[in-house]
Amino acid sequence: MPMQISLDELLGVLVSHTQELAIDNENIKNKFNIMSRILYKKGLFNEHDALEAIRDENKMLLELGMIKTMPDEKTLKNADENLMMWIKGDTKAIKRSLEEMQKKIQEEEAKQNAPRIETAPAGVLDQLDRLNSNNNKKLIL
């Protein structure tokens, strides 16, 4: 006999599992940061090593077909800089980076909300006028 479960119960289970995954993800991230800081402070790797590892990771992802193109050098260096900010614990640089990112997001939102004027080719305008010819009025000037 099939078991019945209400939608509320199902949603509760899904939310609970999602919260557990988020907590596990944070724990893994914290452990990674801690271990990376230990290795960095002991001099076992540097910025150049991190950049090479990022480059190698992206080459592998490309070969596996998980990404379509190899990121450009600027993108790889940005990823390296962001990673090293966290590993070094450079809170000032992290805050500055977050502020810059927030500013860029706001600028993009402003661009998207700005009114746009688009034009159509003359042929399309003529078709629209013909469609509206029943009213003997110009649809578009």
Residue 126 lies in a domain: no
Q: What pTM did the predictor assign?
A: 0.61
Query: Residue 90 phi/psi, 5° resolution?
Result: -80, 85
**129: in domain:** no
> pLDDT averaged over the chain?
88
The answer to whether residue 4 scores a pLDDT higher than 70 is yes
pLDDT value of position 140: 53
* 8 A C-beta contact, residue 71 and residue 58: yes
> Is 130 part of a structural domain of the chain?
no
Indicate if the pLDDT at residue 136 is higher than 90.
no
Residue 1 lies in a domain: no
In this prediction, residues 79-105 reach a mean pLDDT of 92
135 in any annotated domain: no
Could you give the percent of the chain with pLDDT greater than 90?
65
pLDDT mean over 88-103: 92
Please indicate, yes or no, if residue 119 is contained in any of the structural domains.
Answer: no
Q: Which residue type, as a one-letter code, is found at position 117? A: I
pLDDT given for residue 139 in this prediction: 54
Per-residue pLDDT of 23-53, as tens digits, reads 999 999 999 999 999 999 999 999 999 999 9
Report the b/e string of 7-29 with b at 16+ CB within 10 A: eeeeeeeeeeeeeeeeeeeeeee
Cβ–Cβ under 8 Å, residues 61 and 67: yes
Note down the domain range covering 52: 9-110
- Per DSSP, the residues of 64-81 read TTSSSSPPPHHHHHHHHH
Tell me the C-alpha to C-alpha distance, in Å, between residue 48 and each of 13, 22, 23, 58: 45, 31, 31, 15
Closest CA to 32 of 78, 87, 72, 69: 87
Q: How many domains does the chain have?
A: 1
Interhelix angle 7-41/73-88, rounded to 10 degrees, is 80
Instruction: Answer whether residue 79 is part of any domain.
Output: yes
Asked whether residue 117 is assigned to any structural domain, the reply reads no
Supply the pLDDT for residue 91. 93
pLDDT tens per residue, range 53-74: 999 999 999 999 999 999 999 9
